Amino acid sequence: MTNSQRKERKRYGREWKRIRDEYIKRFPNCEICQAHMKIVPAEEVHHITPLCRGGTHDKVNLLALCHECHQKIHEIDRAEQKKRT
């Protein structure tokens, strides 16, 4: 296991699973879909500011999302990163 894999594992260890599970209990529906008046169960928790960019597991930095919305966010982020380079 590489150092970066170890760091990634630490960031997403047992504590993250507990935080994620609590957040999904509190926000069981996708927050983006709900803003568009659609009720879709949340499957994933997204960091608004990624951990690699200084983000935290704090609730103000999290979004409960369905898989589709989570994918879209990351696609947009990847496209924006490509534009910057």
Strand partners, 29: 41
Taking only the tens place, the pLDDT of each residue in 14-62 is 999 999 999 999 999 999 999 999 999 999 999 999 999 999 999 999 9
Name the pLDDT band for 81 (thresholds 50, 70, 90).
confident
Residue-range definition of the domain harbouring residue 44: 3-84
Helix (H, G, I), strand (E, B) or coil at 21: helix
How many independent structural domains does the chain possess? 1
d(C-alpha 30, C-alpha 12), whole Å: 21
- At 9, the pLDDT band (50, 70, 90 cuts) reads low
Q: Model's pTM, two decimal places?
A: 0.80
pLDDT for residue 4: 52
